[in-house]
A and B are shown apart, each in its own frame.
Chain A
Amino acid sequence: MIWRFAHRWLGLVAGTLALVLSITGTLLALDPLNNAIQAAPTEPDMPVATLVQRVQATVPGAEEIRRQPSGAIVVYAFEDGQARALRVAPADGRVLGSYQPSLLPRWVKNLHRALLLDDPGRVAAAVVALAMLALSVSGLVLLLRRMGGWRRLAGPVRGTLAQRLHVLAGRVVLAVLALSAVAALYMSAATFGLVQLDAEAEPEVASSPNGQASLPAGQLPLLQALHVQDLRKLNVPAADDPQDIWSIVTVQGQGWVDRYSGQTLAWHDTTTAQRVHDWALLLHTGDGAWAWAVVLGAMGASIPLFWVTGVLLWWQARRSRPAIEGNSPLAQADSLIFVASESGSTWGFAQALHTALAAAGHRVHTTALEHWHVPPAARHVYVLAATYGEGQAPAHAARALDVIAHQPVTSAQVAVLGFGDRQFPAFCAFAEALEQTLLAQGWNPLLALERIHQQSAQEFARWGQSLAQALGQPLSLAYQPRLPRTAALTLVSRQDFAGGAGEPAAILRFALPGRGLPRFVAGDLLGIVPPGDQPVPRYYSLASGTRDGFVEICVRRMPGGVCSNYLHGLQPGDSAQAFIRPNPGFALHGSRQPVLLIGAGTGVAPLAGFIRGNARRRPMHLYYGTRDPARDFYFGEELQAWQAEGRLADLHTTFSRTPDGGGYVQDSLRRDAARVRDLLARGAVVRVCGSRPMAQGVAQVLDEILDGLGLSVARLKQRERYAEDLF
């Protein structure tokens, strides 16, 4: 958790300053490109002496010659009382033009490295570089944790758009960012004198006049021995100072030469610190390596993206983990409530329990299950745990069992309360596993495990009565469901079907409200809040996305179902309160892989949505099972139209209640085994939507088909190629 905490707060605080550095950094990356364009080629191993002779022939007043990292030769001269900086072709000394150090005004660079504040700004910029390094390291740790280790680092990324962008960009940019930050820190250290770049003081040297004229550059052995490609800077002795000397700086070191004798008066090798500094400069600025400058520029441009998506992630997490009102400090609390929640709804129950216990005089501390820690003062420990998917822990509490097993057992009493849905075979399986772990470890039970079905406030209140008895004090648990902000959706049309199993069904199309509904895609869920005192939302898979311009679901009326009966009673013009719940694991992400869609009954709705939105004509293959074409062939006409348009590659229907209808959808998969195997071998992505028994039947047939490929449905799920949306 410390990594997430560090990453989040460093990102929010230092990240804001990093925006300034990234934008200016991206601009500065243009300079190396410009320099590379302007550089004229140098022949390999050309002696510096040759270059000096050529330059002196064309620029008589040359005083200093520099070779830029890009290879450009710049000559500084003093002619006719004017100081000049000229670009010169090394091949013949021809003057190419005047030299401009940068395309950008000076302040851009000063903003980048010192925030225009001189030394205090340099310190701030260095602190930001350090923060960027820490962000890269913590980001890598979080990335590895999310992806499940180094070997799965390159795997597909799931989650909301913000999560995907943050993780995808992070995978690419992280190493470059870390490298650039390290280089920046080294450069800062050199600027502040923490790293000594020169080993020794400058030698006290001077030319000794011997009555002869100065030697021409061509007769100086040092200048003959050194090559232009290694040159950094050469100073020509001034004509009016008889004691002046030649001084030259190259990659290898720095030398001083007597202008009369041509003797090398002193030579200092380049220090390791200076070599490292040269590398740091190259890595951080990209000067002299234009391709790297492009990479650096792209990295700089990605930082605003990181910042925006990071802030969004933080905000989303904040909203889904409600702040508990009146939380006592952990060490002083006598009652602890630990929460494992997939969608955030279990936190509402936790708040109700928290409030009731606090009203009864307890000091209560509520936190997420992964923070499991029971101090000695705690007398009662409550665990409120939802179950995710096939009996797994919610994502944030994935390692909770491990954490609990490694913490000492105290004399506190524990009660586990499970939340789930009885339609799932693994109803409250994670809560059961939690209770078993706790009891096996030796914790004293306060109450036996209780299971709450579909967030029932009544069942929760009943559990509260048992708890009141166990504690020997009155307690009233009042749970108010926490609903997301809803929008009113107006029904524009409905398409009615007789339905396959005696109850009718309808495709309901609502107008897209002007505002109040976030962006959504086919496969996300529409939460409908039926009117009533204690409304419990019901979720329906969306058969449309925002881009389609309407909100469409397919609803079968359930006997005694509050929400489905309410929806079936709606007429065009009526409206319903609704909200979006993203379903990122199920929605399709952009790629060119073929898609195998398998659905039955109203489960075809999100699949129809995928096909409707398939403007890029990705190959989609639909296996669709219903009972009777006359009664429950939802989207039948539309599917044929989409196939004609090329949005749907092929359609395989089965009708289980008509003679020669082909049986169930899994039967048609089995008949098409060769085709299906070929699709899966080519990397097809699979989406299954419908009832649980259907999904089990489909998985069984696919496992048989996949056996020949050395694959299985479980493996495909692991690789995030197979997802189900079941009811």
Chain B
Amino acid sequence: MSTRFLLTTVAAACALALPAMAQSRPVTLSTTLKDYGGDGAYLAVYLTDAKGAYVRTLWVAGGKAKYYKHLADWNRLSAGDAKRLNGVTGASVGAGRTLKVTAELADALIDAGYEIRIDAAAEDMRDSPAEIRVPLTATGAGKPQAGKQYIQSFTYQLQ
């Protein structure tokens, strides 16, 4: 437990410190939802490191904290990050709609075992933690990936 917490903290510190020293670039995250016939979905897009530890939150769609427990993995993994919602929240995403957001990522994170993960949930439907898990690599960029329950395709573009 305590080792894991330490690792997370170090990783987070690195991720936060890196952009100041090294090259970073904007990454466009594009998520298109299926027509699953329900209310708007809550999504949490976040980054984990090679060991599966939480690094940082890239985007949270859906504004009511009451429902965050349904994004179970993210909610649990990011519990220690007091700033997890800072500047990265927006409205929930309707069925069939596309969410397009940009995050600033350090070059050092690419091809280094990091993963982009998405937890998804919609009311009266199942929770889908780990709806998407894709490695953050230069070759993986631009390749659409389907989710398990809600996501039709997810693509990230390095710029």
Contacts and interface: CB of A to CB of B under 8 A. Distances in A.
Interface of A: 63-64, 76, 78, 83, 85, 101-102, 106, 110, 190-191, 193, 197-198, 201-206, 208, 235, 238, 241-244, 247, 256
Contact of A235 (B4, B38, B72): B72
Contacts of B8: 204
B126 A64 contact: yes
Interface stretch (B14-22, B74-82, B97-105, B106-114): B74-82
Interface string B128-142: 111000000000000
B65 interface: yes
Contacts of B143: none
A552 B87 CA distance: 81
A204 B5 contact: yes
A343 to B, nearest CB: 56
B132 to A, nearest CB: 13
A204 B66 contact: no
Nearest to B67: A191
B18 to A, nearest CB: 23
Contact of A78 (B4, B72, B125, B148): B148
A625 B115 CA distance: 101
B8 to A, nearest CB: 8
B148 A241 contact: no
B39 A110 contact: yes
6 smallest A-B Cβ distances: which pairs?
A76-B126, A101-B124, A83-B149, A202-B79, A202-B76, A201-B79
B79 A243 contact: no
Nearest to A265: B1
Contact of B66 (A83, A102, A197, A242): A197
Contact of B37 (A63, A106, A235, A241): A106
A101 B125 contact: yes
B66 A202 contact: no
A235 B127 contact: yes
A78 B76 CA distance: 22
Contacts of A197: 66
A102 B5 CA distance: 42
Nearest to B3: A208
B66 A205 contact: no
Contacts of B52: 241-243
A204 B75 CA distance: 9
A191 B62 CA distance: 12
A194 to B, nearest CB: 11
A56 B46 CA distance: 30
Contacts of B38: 106
Contact of B77 (A85, A102, A204): A204
A181 B44 CA distance: 34
B4 A238 contact: no
Contacts of A256: 76
A718 to B, nearest CB: 54
Contacts of A235: 72, 127, 129
A185 to B, nearest CB: 15
B83 interface: no
B79 A83 contact: no
Contacts of A191: 64, 66
Contacts of B130: 238, 241
Nearest to A242: B52
B69 interface: yes
Given A101-B124, A101-B125, A204-B76, A198 B39 contact: no
A206 to B, nearest CB: 6
Nearest to B63: A119
Nearest to B64: A191
A586 B94 CA distance: 61
Nearest to A197: B66
B72 A247 contact: yes
Contacts of B5: 204
A194 B115 CA distance: 36
Contacts of A206: 1, 4
11 contacts: A83-B148, A101-B125, A193-B65, A203-B79, A204-B77, A205-B1, A206-B4, A235-B127, A235-B129, A243-B52, A256-B76
